[in-house]
Amino acid sequence: MKISRELKTAIIVLGGILLFILGFSFLKSNPIFKSYRTYYAVYDHVGGLATGTSVSINGFPVGKILDIRFVDERGKLLVTFSVENDFEFSKSSKAVLFDTGIIGGKGIQIVPVFDGSSNSVSGDTLPSFIKPGLTELVTQKLTPLQAQLGSMLEHADSVLSGVNKTLDEEMTGDLKSTVANIREITENFKQSSVTLNKILQDNKKKLDNSLDNIEGLSGNLKEVSGTLADADLGRTMEELQQTINGFHQVVARLENGEGSVGKLLKDEELYDNLTGASLQLEQLLQDMKLNPKRYVHFSLFGKRPKPYEVPDEDETETETGEQ
């Protein structure tokens, strides 16, 4: 069978077209012999998402972005993407728009949800969610900080303005004078330090002797404390306490009138008797002084003493007056 030239030309053209399609698909990482499901998601913005960007599940690429277009006049964007048929997930799974790197780049990640609902099919619109990237998070944190910083700068500017108004020529002179006084005080301290160092150097030997004496005194105190510790102060204090307790008991017995001394201190009748006896003794001594013949008799010839005669009151008074 002879093939005509036209048929050969047609076969070559068709083969070229097929090779072109296969090559183009290979360059776009889109295998021809795999089946895909097409899904949709609506976003307020896509942050630079481009067609051909990969779609992943748990970090594994399973598809790519097919198309991005406006869905309404408010600017919402409809993203069309494909997912391989190898993995099934429910209709409530989310299409999350996230940052693929620190310096930029966006991608879509399918977050599968297994809640028992029916599986998604090609043509479904999945719930969309925009995950804040590093730039958005930094912006969210810096925005209030920027406002606070602006307020602080305004406050600092007002403070500086007030300081400039306060620092007139007179106050500026006072500040200069204060600084000069501080400098002078510093110089005085420096001179005092030099003088003190000189005194210490000149009296180093005396200071060493004083330190030695202090060290000897501390040693003596240590020995004294050791001697006191060996003297059994506890026992001595215990005996002293016993003595004090005994003295308290004696004083208590005296106050209660116990014993001879206690009765002498507390017995009023004995006191009255002693007082009366003292008075009588005083009268007796006075009478012996006034009338010794009544009590002492002396005779060379052995005469018997005259009987005692009670003196008259007048005679007694006369003798008392003469005395």
**pLDDT tens readout for residues 180-214:** 889 889 988 888 888 888 888 888 888 888 888 88
Q: Are 131 and 100 in contact (CB under 8 A)?
A: no
Mean predicted lDDT score pLDDT of the chain: 78
H helix intervals, the chain: 5-27, 134-166, 169-202, 204-230, 233-255, 259-266, 268-290, 313-322
- What pLDDT is attached to residue 313? 52
**Residue 122 backbone dihedrals phi, psi, to 5 degrees:** -60, 130
- CB contact set of 44 (below 8 Å; sequence gap of 6+): 75, 76, 77, 130
SS3 category, 59: coil
pLDDT over threshold 50, residue 316: no
Lowest mean pLDDT across 26-40, 41-55, 182-196, 197-211: 26-40
Q: Are 116 and 67 in contact (CB under 8 A)?
A: no
For the beta carbon of residue 298, count every other beta carbon within 10 angstroms: 6
Q: Are strands 77-84 and 128-130 parallel, antiparallel or unpaired?
A: unpaired
pTM of the model: 0.38
pLDDT over threshold 80, residue 12: yes
- What pLDDT is attached to residue 309? 54
Q: Where are the domains of the chain?
A: 1-33, 34-131, 268-309
pLDDT band at 241 (very low <50, low <70, confident <90, very high): confident
Q: What is the mean pLDDT of residues 119-140?
A: 81
Alpha-carbon distances of 74 from 3, 37, 44, 96, 131, rounded to whole Å: 61, 28, 9, 21, 21
Q: What is the mean pLDDT of residues 6-21?
A: 81
| Nearest alpha-carbon partner for 131 in 111, 146, 113 | 111
In this predicted model, which residue has the larger pLDDT, 102 or 37?
Answer: 37
- What pLDDT is attached to residue 233? 67
Region for residue 58 given its phi and psi (left: phi exceeds 0; alpha: psi -120 to 50; beta: otherwise): left
Q: In a 10 Å sphere around its CB, with 0-12 CB exposed, 13-18 middle and 19+ buried, how is residue 266 labelled?
A: middle
- What pLDDT is attached to residue 20? 76
pLDDT tens for residues 130-185?
A: 888 776 666 767 777 777 888 888 878 777 776 666 666 667 777 788 888 898 89
- What pLDDT is attached to residue 43? 93
For the beta carbon of residue 201, count every other beta carbon within 10 angstroms: 9
pLDDT tens for residues 249-288?
A: 888 877 777 777 666 666 677 777 778 888 888 888 888 8
Q: What is the mean pLDDT of residues 292-311?
A: 57
pLDDT band at 69 (very low <50, low <70, confident <90, very high): very high
pLDDT band at 1 (very low <50, low <70, confident <90, very high): low
User: Per-residue DSSP letters for 98-137?
Assistant: EESSSS--EEEEEE---SSPPBP-TTPBPPEEE---HHHH
pLDDT over threshold 80, residue 244: yes
| Nearest alpha-carbon partner for 266 in 248, 249, 252 | 252
pLDDT band at 81 (very low <50, low <70, confident <90, very high): very high
Sequence length of the chain is: 323
pLDDT band at 216 (very low <50, low <70, confident <90, very high): confident
Task: Please state, for a pLDDT cut of 90, what percent of the chain lies above it.
Answer: 11
pLDDT band at 311 (very low <50, low <70, confident <90, very high): low
